[in-house]
Amino acid sequence: MLASAAHADPDLLQLDVDGNIEYQAASPHNERIFTRQELLAMPVHTIQTSTNWTGSEVWEGPRLIDVLKKAGIRGSSIRVFAYDDYSQEIPVAFIEKYEPILAYRENGRELRLNDFGPLFIIFPRDQYRDELSTISNTRRFVFQVRRIEVK
Ligand SMILES: Nc1nc2c(c(=O)[nH]1)N[C@H]1C(S)=C(S)[C@@H](COP(=O)(O)O)O[C@H]1N2
Ligand SMILES: [Mo]
């Protein structure tokens, strides 16, 4: 793997989902681990939007709700944890309404840790500018996502 040492944190593209989810027989801590391979194999959705940090860009990844359903979500809210220790709670109803993605690519390029990767929760902000540009909803654009706890 020497040749790819300068590449984009390939081992970080993984997501742990735990908390109020269906019993995961394979996991002693009842966490559902989405490997890089599994995340990349899920249906890809595209959102073109600006964010608080960028102009209008093309973001790609699985829908957050699809990941949660695959984990067997039971609760009505999630808390998203990031590599920088930020965390934010998001109601599931809000996720169902605005259909954010867990973006792992921006303009065809995989997100690195230092440009919001490995996973960045992207909402279609330009489509719902009034609702999604508020301060409380900007907080829900969590970048550097590493874990989701279902409440
Ligand atoms: N991983 C991570 N995501 C985050 C944050 C953060 O500190 N870390 N800040 C949140 C907050 S509070 C807001 S308002 C927006 C914009 O944060 P920033 O402009 O302070 O970076 O990103 C959100 N997503
Ligand atoms: Mo904020």
Domains of the chain: 2-150 (3.90.420.10)
Once rounded to an integer, what is the mean pLDDT over residues 62-82?
98
CA of 119 to the centre of ligand 2 (A): 19
With a cut of 90, say whether residue 88 has pLDDT above it. yes
Nearest CA to ligand 1 atom 3: 142
Nearest CA to ligand 1 atom 17: 139
With a cut of 50, say whether residue 4 has pLDDT above it. no
pTM > 0.85: yes or no = yes
Which ligand is closest to the CA of 117, given by its number? 1
Closest CA to 77 of 95, 59, 63: 95
Once rounded to an integer, what is the mean pLDDT over residues 35-52?
98
CA dist., res. 54 & res. 70, Å (int): 30
**Ligand 1 binding pocket, CB closer than 6 Å:** 52, 82, 84, 86, 135, 138-139, 141-144
CA of 143 to the centre of ligand 1 (A): 7
- pLDDT tens by residue, 51-69: 999 999 999 999 999 999 9
Task: Give the CA angle between residues 31, 32, 36 to the nearest 5°.
Answer: 130
Q: Which long-range contacts (CB under 8 A, 24 or more apart) does 106-109 make?
A: 106/54, 106/57, 106/58, 106/59, 106/60, 107/57, 107/58, 108/58, 108/60
Q: What pLDDT is attached to residue 89?
A: 98
- Cα distance between the two ends of the chain: 39
- pLDDT tens by residue, 124-151: 999 999 999 999 999 999 999 999 999 9
